[in-house]
Amino acid sequence: MKVIARLSDLGVPALKARRFAGTVKGQPVDRALAILELQSSPVCQALAKLVRSAAANAEHNHQLDRRNLEVANVIVDQGHMLKRIQPQARGRAYRIAKRSCHVTVVLDLQSSLRAAQQRASAGAASKASKSGGESAPASKTPRSRKKAETAG
């Protein structure tokens, strides 16, 4: 089950936020938080807060254990841009673009747990079909194979 947390209008350019977002992608939640808290950048503080929020959402809303979650994806999109003017000599002015970004953190069950759940659900489905429960839909073969089978 995927759990999503979003942060809008982080006052940092997307390029700087992506530098730190890539370090936690694919890591378990506790390890990702440890990585982010060891770095002193304000971006890391915001990302750590967002990961904690996503983990709390998973625990409270979906009854998932925090130890079984990993950071599946971190998406950093460009936000709005504030355009400012910097006065220069001789009456000129330079434009300053104060960029922001939107960050989305996606948590999911760790891959080993996800595979175990899929095996368990597949095993339950096969037991149901053997015991006379709902039958699985017949597999469709491509038309070219059907023609070859009927001709041969």
All structural domains of the chain with their residue ranges: 1-85+94-113
Pair of tokens at residue 133? 């429960």
Return the SS3 of 29. helix
Greatest mean pLDDT among 107-116, 127-136, 143-152: 107-116
Return d(Cα 66, Cα 28) in angstroms, integer. 9
Return d(Cα 87, Cα 94) in angstroms, integer. 6
More confident residue, 74 or 132: 74
CATH top class, domain 1-85+94-113: alpha beta
The pTM (predicted TM-score) of the whole model is: 0.72
